[in-house]
Amino acid sequence: MSASSEIKKELYSRIKEEVSVKQALAEDSELKSLDLAMGRFYKRKWSLTSESLLNKRIIQSELVFWGDFHGVRQFQRSVLRWLELLKPFADGNFVLALECLPSSCQKWVDLFVARQISESEFLNQVKWKKSWGFPWEHYQPLFHLAQIYKFKICALNQPGLKTKMLSREAWALKQIKKIKTQNSKAKIWVLYGEFHLLPQRFQKIFKSFQALYIFQNSDVLYFKNKTQRGLGSSRVMKLNESNFCLQSVAPWIKWQSYLYFLDTHENNEVEEGLDVSEHVAALASTLAQEFDWRLNKNEIHTFSSDDSALWQKLKTTEPIFEKFVQEGISFVVKDFGWSYLSRLTANEVGSLAFMIVWFQNVKFMGWPAPQKKWDLKNWQHLLWVLSFCYFGSKVLNPHRKTPELSEIHRMSKSSQQPFERQAARIVIHYLLQQNMSRFENVFESTPSDRIRFQALLWLAGLTGERIFQAYVDKKINLTTLKGFLTKNPSNPHFHEVLKSLDEVLT
């Protein structure tokens, strides 16, 4: 195992231990037994297969179960991705069945999907926080897609907060049979807790349906199969014609995301603001090991938007930092020794952690000098910082994704959001000018900061992806990488550095 892999394995073990401690009081004997059974299930003979085969099996199956890990967004995003890719709802006979809502709430689900009630009224009527408790933001895109394409969402769970797992499974069977009775041609996708889907439990119940089961993100399969440590694209594992496992997120990122959920939930219950400094310091420590850099954890003091102290601190800094807060950009204020985290996600924490380590080790690194109007050099300075921070988060999470250039081209022509169309056009114009060695301030083509910063973030993602790919392919070794990281974006001849990096990445 490489030094980098050892570092990631240590991070994984530490995070799992933290999660275990937090769950110790809540974990019951049934869940412990199911966890062991799941481990045995993944130790069977799985093999790497193709995404095209999985697509074919999904298309062939009338009933598809997707394993859900409720507190981790990537599990719900995978279902969304396949919905958008395969469009099973095209013939009008599609139903998405969700465990996250009790069937007693079906009336409100139908009204919300039909856009007859608002999102806030829907969440209030179904008592989302009390009846489910996991982040609504994880599931909201699925409902949004149903509103656009007008397919049905079925509330699958058994009413009542303290029902047993076997009882809930029997209830789900009843609801699925009901759907089939009402429409024999119905194609049903079910997003359900992965523990339910084990062969000795759920698969026996649904044997007559010849259902397809898609598990997600097994730690055992990740560490067991070297193919899982690739460049970040999804990997598909196959046990047999009925059981697949989609690997789309590294184990340490999965559990880190779940740990963030547990901490946020815990702090909401006691009505305290969440101290994010420890989470940032933990990933900063891993990155410092990865890049052989020093780290002073005592200098890490991170605030989030719900921390009242943040707004007092912003009064003593340059106006640009308040703008960063408004635009959802994390940052380090070196002169005052604190940092800001815009969102508590593994990717955002990873980006900020890299920025902290970088700024600690390269003393002159910082932000563009304040002025009333930014020229192109200011934007390139900011792009330089955010691109490498994206790269740093990608080292931690190889599966992180940003819109590809083809997707940005599509958005520039047909996005339903005007600000997305304009931001995409700025990205394309900037890249065209870069290819032609022309340097005009394309960011000034709009007075909207929202559009400018969205374009900037997309450009940073595209550049960060290229840096990561070059690093993995060994086009850039650690010495060369750190050489670029010590270049000063404020230097009058910095355009030569940009040209040099582009040549390395090409």
Residue at which a domain ends, from 209, 227, 250? 250
**How is residue 456 written in tokens?**
């900037």
Q: pLDDT class for 21, splitting at 50, 70, 90? A: confident
Helix 277-290 to helix 346-361 angle (10° resolution) is: 60
Listed in sequence order, the residues at least 6 apart from 261 whose beta carbon sits closer than 8 Å to its beta carbon are: 71, 72, 134, 135
Residues 457, 240: Cα–Cα separation, whole Å: 41
Q: pLDDT class for 423, splitting at 50, 70, 90? A: very high
Pairwise pLDDT comparison (354 vs 39), residue with the higher score: 354
Q: Is the pLDDT of residue 374 over 50?
A: yes
Residue at which a domain ends, from 250, 280, 308? 250
| Alpha helices in 127-210, H assignment, sequence order | 128-131, 136-149, 165-182, 202-205
Residue 358 belongs to a domain = no
The per-residue b/e assignment along 239-278, b for 16 or more CB within 10 angstroms, e otherwise, is beebbbbbbbbbbbbbbbbbbbbbbbbeeeeeeeebebbe
**The CATH number of the domain where 126 resides is what?**
3.40.50.11550
Pairwise pLDDT comparison (31 vs 238), residue with the higher score: 238
Residue 278 belongs to a domain = no
**How is residue 33 written in tokens?**
């037994």
**How is residue 254 written in tokens?**
């999965």
| pLDDT number for residue 270 | 40
Q: Is the pLDDT of residue 401 over 70?
A: yes
Residue 320 belongs to a domain = no
| pLDDT number for residue 305 | 86
State the average pLDDT over residues 248-257: 91
Residues 397, 184: Cα–Cα separation, whole Å: 42
281 to each of 5, 234, 268, 276, 471, how far by Cα in Å? 19, 28, 22, 9, 24
| pLDDT number for residue 440 | 84
| pLDDT number for residue 27 | 55
Establish how many alpha carbons lie within 13 A of residue 183's alpha carbon, considering only the half-sphere containing its beta carbon: 15
272 to each of 258, 275, 301, 308, how far by Cα in Å? 19, 9, 17, 11
pLDDT in tens, 110-140: 999 999 999 999 999 999 988 898 999 999 9
State the average pLDDT over residues 401-429: 92
Residue 307 belongs to a domain = no
Give me the residue label for tokens 């995978």: 78
Q: Is the pLDDT of residue 468 over 50?
A: yes
Residues 456, 447: Cα–Cα separation, whole Å: 14
**How is residue 289 written in tokens?**
């090991």
Segment (H or E) for 99: strand 94-102
| pLDDT number for residue 266 | 62
96 and 223 assigned to the same domain: yes
| pLDDT number for residue 383 | 95
Residue 272 belongs to a domain = no
- Residue 129: domain span: 36-250
Residue 137 belongs to a domain = yes
Pairwise pLDDT comparison (201 vs 467), residue with the higher score: 467
State the average pLDDT over residues 154-172: 84
Q: Can you give the three-state secondary structure of 351-414, one letter per residue? A: HHHHHHHHHHHCCCCCCCCCCCCCCHHHHHHHHHHHHHHHHHHHHHCCCCCCCCHHHHHHHHHH
The per-residue b/e assignment along 132-160, b for 16 or more CB within 10 angstroms, e otherwise, is bebbbebbebbbebbeeeebbbbbbbbee
111 and 245 assigned to the same domain: yes
235 and 372 assigned to the same domain: no
Q: Is the pLDDT of residue 271 over 60?
A: no
Residue 152 belongs to a domain = yes
226 and 373 assigned to the same domain: no
| pLDDT number for residue 225 | 73
DSSP 120-132: HHHHHHHTHHHHT
| pLDDT number for residue 233 | 52
Q: What number of helices (H) and strands (E) belong to the chain? A: 22, 11
Residue 343 belongs to a domain = no
**How is residue 246 written in tokens?**
């989609």
Residues 165, 157: Cα–Cα separation, whole Å: 10
Q: Are 277 and 304 in contact (CB under 8 A)?
A: no
- Domain count along the chain: 2
Residue at which a domain ends, from 215, 250, 285? 250
Mean pLDDT, rounded, of the chain: 89
Percent of residues, the chain, with pLDDT higher than 70:
92
- Highest mean pLDDT: which range of 75-89, 262-276, 310-324: 75-89
Establish how many alpha carbons lie within 13 A of residue 172's alpha carbon, considering only the half-sphere containing its beta carbon: 30
